[in-house]
Every structure is written in structure tokens, then in C-alpha cells.
Amino acid sequence: MSVIDIGQSVVLGIVEGLTEFLPVSSTGHLKIAEGLLGIPVGDQAVVGFTAVIQMGAIAAVLVYFFRDIVRFATAWGRGLVNAQARQERDYKFAWWVIFATLPIVAAGLLLQSLVKGPLASLWVVAVSLIAGSGIMWAADRYGTGKRAEADTTLPDAMLVGGSQILALLFPGFSRSGATISTGLLLGLDRVAATRLSFFLSIPALTGAGLYELKDALGGGLDPVPLLIGTIVSFAVAYAAIAWLLKFVARHTFTAFIVYRVIAGLVLLGLITTGVLNA
């Protein structure tokens, strides 16, 4: 019998698509949704399911930023065979994304037992939602926002990419929240920080989804709910990406900060009262 049915997969696909790129923590919201739906949060097949439906969200990034990705990939390929082309910014940026992904890959492999064990708790999610809000507030408050996308450097990419480890270790912190906040603290404007976060999400989330695929398919999950959840995740994530880029161009992250604090406090209440099992 499948651990997750079609109805549950639709709900989880919506949650994943809405929260993957908004700075509110997709992992945290998925764990909460799974708990409310009575799905065993710690089951390896469920962990695999959540990682695989992220592929739908990452596909949305690939489609939305298709022209940019083709430009980077073309410049990278051209630079591999042409020394002069290696001076192009797009060629360098492609390498920056690769280099900036290495810290999260290493952390994911080395800390896997910790991430799937003691840290896979709703207590951690609740505290991380609130603690991450403090960092987002500081980034929003003290980030100068004077540097555009064209001003990003390799150190910027490495620091932003490395911040993804916070979300890996503390579900509820939010990968996009960590990366965007880091970009803001480095002086990038909101649009530049958000776009950099999107580009760095591509290899990180794709790798996680492919790695967890064996657990999703080999742990009692029906491929049909898995496919449906991924498709729903794609459609919702595409809309969320378009909305977020328009939103950050004109607004601060105050609304997300307030929401995260409220969500964290509500989650603490649900755990304390026994409504949810941490």
C-alpha cells in the first residue's frame, strides 16, 4: 500500500510549489502538512517523496529562466574551448554556480545521518522559523542594496551558496531565506539576491531530488502520486517565482518575517498541545 495517496500528493505538491522559493521554508511546511495529513514524517519513502517533488519546482526555475540558463551554458561551453571566451562574465558566473554548490553537496553527504535523524523534528522546524526570521529582519534592515546583479563576485556566490547549509541542517530556516538574506547582507539589491538564490537552487535541488529518488520509488510509494505531486509542484512554483520577482522589486520582506514568526509560534503550540507529534 502506498504511503501517500493521490489526494495527499496534490496537497503536498501545492505546499512545495508555494513555499520552495518563498523565504518561508518548504521543508518546514511540508513536515507540518505531512503531520496534519497523518503521513509518517520520518519514513524514508516520505523523505524521498518530498525531495522528488522538488524536481517539479526546480523544473519551474529551468523553464522560467530558460534564456538565462542557455546563455550561461553556451558561454560555459564556449569558454571550455576558447581562451578568449573565458573572459566573458557569463562563463565565469557558470563556474561560480558550480563552485558555490560544492559546500552543500559535501554537507549533504557528510551530515546525512544528522539531518535525517535528530534534526528532522518539528521542534527544530518551529525554532528555525523564528530564528531565521531574525536573520531576515537584520538583512532587510542593514543590507545596503547598492549592488546590482552585474556586481556579484565569486566570493558572493560562495557565501550565498554556503548559506544553503543552514537550511539543510535546520529545516524551517528556509533555503531561499538563507540565500536571499546572505545576498542582502553582502549589499546586493533584493532582485539580484533573489535571482542569485534561484540560480544556485538549480544544482542543489536537482541533486537532492535525484539522490532521494531511490528511496521514493523503493520505499512503498506509488509512482502515480509521485508524478502528480511533481506536476502540481511545477505549476504552483512557476506562478510563485513570477510573483516573487515582482514583489521583491517593490517591497521589503517584512510580510514574510511576520508570517514566519506567527507560523513558528503556532507550530510550537500545536506540538505542545499534542495536536502534532514532533
DSSP assignment of 27-79, as one string?
HHHHHHHHHHTT--TT-HHHHHHHHHHHHHHHHHHHHHTHHHHHHHHHHHHHH
Cell of 176: 531561499
Nearest CA to 140 out of 255, 5, 254, 272 is that of 254
What is the reported pLDDT for 215?
62
Task: Report the C-alpha gap between 114 and 93 in whole angstroms.
Answer: 32
Assigned domain for 243 exists = yes
Assigned domain for 1 exists = no
**Domain span at 248:** 6-272
Assigned domain for 196 exists = yes
- Using left for φ > 0, alpha for ψ between -120 and 50, and beta otherwise, residue 240 falls in alpha
What is the reported pLDDT for 214?
66
What is the reported pLDDT for 241?
95
Assigned domain for 278 exists = no
Assigned domain for 204 exists = yes
Q: If DSSP codes are grouped into helix, strand and coil, which group holds residue 147? A: strand
Cell of 125: 522546524
Provide the number of structural domains found in the chain: 1
Assigned domain for 83 exists = yes
What is the reported pLDDT for 67?
95
Q: Which residues of the chain have pLDDT under 50?
A: 1
Assigned domain for 277 exists = no
- For the chain, give the mean pLDDT: 89
Task: Name the pTM for this structure.
Answer: 0.88
What is the reported pLDDT for 1?
45
Assigned domain for 61 exists = yes
